Structure 1
Amino acid sequence: MQLGLHALGIGAGARRAVIDAVAVAAEACGFATLWSGEHVVMVDHASSRYPYSPDGRIAVPAAAHWLDPLIGLSFAAAATSTIRVATGVLLLPEHNPIVVAKQAASLDVLSGGRLTLGVGVGWSREEFDALGVPFARRTARTEEYVAAMRAVWREDVASFTGDFVQFDAIRVNPKPCGATIPIVFGGNSDSALRRAAALGDGWYGFNLDGVPEVADRLSFLATQDRDLAELRIAVALRDPEPDDVEELAALGVDELVIVDSPPGDPELAADWVSTLAARWLPAAAGE
């Protein structure tokens, strides 16, 4: 099993020197992927329920620095040469899909084909309201945006007609390094797993309540009309332990993502990453 690190873009992880130091150390230690999430807007008093914690509240303070993940990950990619970078997740319906397609392809080209684009439908009505994007039908909007982005990545001259986006005979360059950019869907609900199976190259389950919930979600995913071997499965657990790794691997999980906050002092970042690696990489290697 591979290990990912979800540590960049928020708070101390939004500082340039910390990004560089964590990225370099993570690559040297053998982590497979650097993940970074997104919120364009945070509000002090939200009524929307956060779906990834028991109390329905997001742990990140509203006043925290939170980088745009594609920009933040471009710095991580520039500091490294082999480790993958992934949005975990970008809230796709809040964005123009043509702009996202161009930004993602640009990062993919500059990183040498190392980008995975994790996308989600979003949960904060307040955020959608602030951006002037309808909260209703955000799932349909997301699905259509994915199709539109794949069209401009695939076709030299692309056209698309849908309910939310239309374009005719446009060129969007650069193209990704490969035939496309892998798109993984975030979300732990039945509907999120259906999207991953129907449209995705993988699934990123976030803040799951241990191995039993992973097993439950993968059992549901297996009922969908998709060969699980075609999907890359990455999960982050709420309170992971090294002993979980063997069970997750047996379930078919490809990557365990460790979610943590780096130190604010970049000079301490290498030791911090090394400590994480010493705890987790032996288990991932089956030692």
Structure 2
Amino acid sequence: MRVGLHALGIGDGARPEVIRAVAQAAEAHGFSRLWAGEHVVLVDAPASRYPYSDDGRIAVPADADWLDPLLALSFAAAVTREIGLATGVLLLPEHNPVVVAKQAATLDVLSAGRLTLGVGIGWSADEFAALGVPFTARGRRTEEYLAAMRTLWRDDVATFEGDFTRFHGVRVNPKPVRERGIPVVMGGNGAVALRRAAKIADGWYGFNLSVAEAAECVSALVEHGLAEHHANPNRAVEQPVVAVALTDATPEDLPELARVGVTEIVVVGAPPATPDEAGRWVAGLARRWLGSTGPCL
């Protein structure tokens, strides 16, 4: 069972000295991946319900610093050597897919192939409105954008014709490090999101779930064919990623979660404000979740 850490890019976790301390400590103590999420804008009085909390409200204050995840992970890549990097999640339909393909491949090259691109369809109508992107059909837009990005990563001279994006005879370089491209995991806990993850993604990232809910979601992924994932030549990895951030998990739950098919537990937290405190905070998480008593250098 891998253990990732979702702690970069927000509040004190947006400060460069804290990012450096958290990233280096996480790598030293054996965490598998650093995760960073995205919101381009937040609003004081959102019209949309946040789908990952019981009260429908996001816990992050609207005036908090929130870094772009690809840029934040680029900084983390520069101060580490081996730890994986993942967006959790980038809101793909809010972006131009040609630009995202270029940015993601750039980060993948600069990090020597360490990137996993977590994507989601988004939930905030206010955010889509601010960006001038239609809120409707964002699921179909996400699926098409992903197909277009894979075309750009695969083909030296790429052509794509869709309802939302089209290009003809273009070259987008650099290419990702891995021959099959960058692994893409799909976020979202609902039935449609799970079906989408199983059918077109390299895995799934579930967020703010109980242990029982996570097991139910993994069962649904299997029913939708995630286990046959490796036979699809469009997939970037042979074995799918099944990563979950849980609300009630303890280290004692890890064997059972592994048994039902979870491949990575993602610990979510907000780091302290100073580098020394942040390093000790990561060490404490490592002792709890990994049994680590010191840096694994």
TM-score in terms of structure 1 length:
0.96
Alignment partner, residue 65 of structure 1: 65
Among 258, 261, 265, the alignment partner of 2:270 is: 261
Query: Residue 211 of structure 1 contacts residue 247 of structure 1 at CA under 8 Å; is this kept in 2?
Result: no
1:238 aligned onto 2:247: yes
Deviation (angstroms), 1:225: 2.9
Structure 1 range deviating more: 221-230 or 96-105: 221-230
One-letter amino acid matched to 1:103: Q
Deviates more, 1:100-109 or 1:247-256: 247-256
- The answer to whether the 8 A contact 2:3-2:266 is kept is yes
Question: 1:62-95 CA distances to partner (integer Å, 9 max, x unpaired)?
Answer: 0000000000000101000000000000000000
Q: Determine the structure 2 residue equivalent to 1:168.
A: 168
User: Which residue of 2 is the match for residue 110 of structure 1?
Assistant: 110
SS of the equivalent of 2:290 reads helix
Deviates most, 188-197 or 225-234? 225-234
Question: Which residue of the partner structure matches residue 144 of structure 1?
Answer: 144
Compute the RMSD of aligned alpha carbons: 1.1
- Does the CA contact (< 8 Å) of 2:211 and 2:248 recur in 1? no
Overall identity of the aligned pairs, in %: 64
Q: Distance between the aligned counterparts of 1:54 and 1:214, measured in 2? A: 16
Kept in 1: contact 2:185–2:202 (CA 8 A): yes
> Structure 1 residues 3, 228: closer, same or farther in 2, change over 3 A?
farther
Query: Retained in 1: the 8 A contact 2:25–2:279?
Result: yes
Say if 1:156 and 1:171, in contact at 8 Å, map to a contact too.
yes
Distance across 2 between alignment mates of 1:228 and 1:88 = 24
Question: What is the CA deviation profile of residues 24-64 of structure 1, one whole-angstrom value per residue up to 9, with x for unaligned ones?
Answer: 00000000000000000100000201010111110000000
Alignment-mate amino acid for residue 92 of structure 1 = L
Which consecutive aligned stretches of 4+ in structure 1 deviate over 2 angstroms post-superposition? none
Q: How many Å apart are 1:239 and its aligned residue? A: 2.9
Alignment size in residue pairs: 282
Report the counterpart of residue 193 of structure 1 in structure 2: 194
How far residue 130 of structure 1 moved from its aligned partner, in angstroms, is 0.5
Task: Kindly provide the CA deviation profile for residues 174-200 of structure 1, in whole angstroms up to 9, marking residues without a partner as x.
Answer: 000012000000000010011101100
* Corresponding residue of 1:37: 37
Distance in 2 of aligned mates of 1:147 and 1:133: 19
- 1:98 positional shift: 0.3
Letter in 1 for 2:86: A
Deviation of residue 226 (structure 1)? Answer: 3.4
Q: Secondary structure at the match of 1:140?
A: helix
Equivalent residue number for residue 286 of structure 2: 277
Consecutive unaligned residues in structure 1, runs of 5 or more: none
Tell me if structure 2 keeps the 8 A contact 1:43–1:126. Answer: yes
Unaligned runs of 5+ in 2: 230-238, 293-297
Instruction: Work out whether 1:122 is the aligned partner of 2:122.
Output: yes
What SS does the corresponding residue of 1:233 show, helix, strand or coil? strand
Query: When the two structures are superposed, what TM-score results if normalisation uses the length of structure 2?
Result: 0.93
2:5 alignment counterpart:
5
- Indicate conservation of the 8 Å contact 1:12/1:264, yes or no: yes
CA distance in 1: counterparts of 2:228 and 2:251, whole angstroms: 24
Please give the alpha-carbon distance, in whole angstroms, between the structure 1 residues aligned to 2:253 and 2:58. 24
Q: Which residue matches 2:295?
A: none
Q: Does 1:251 align with 2:253?
A: no
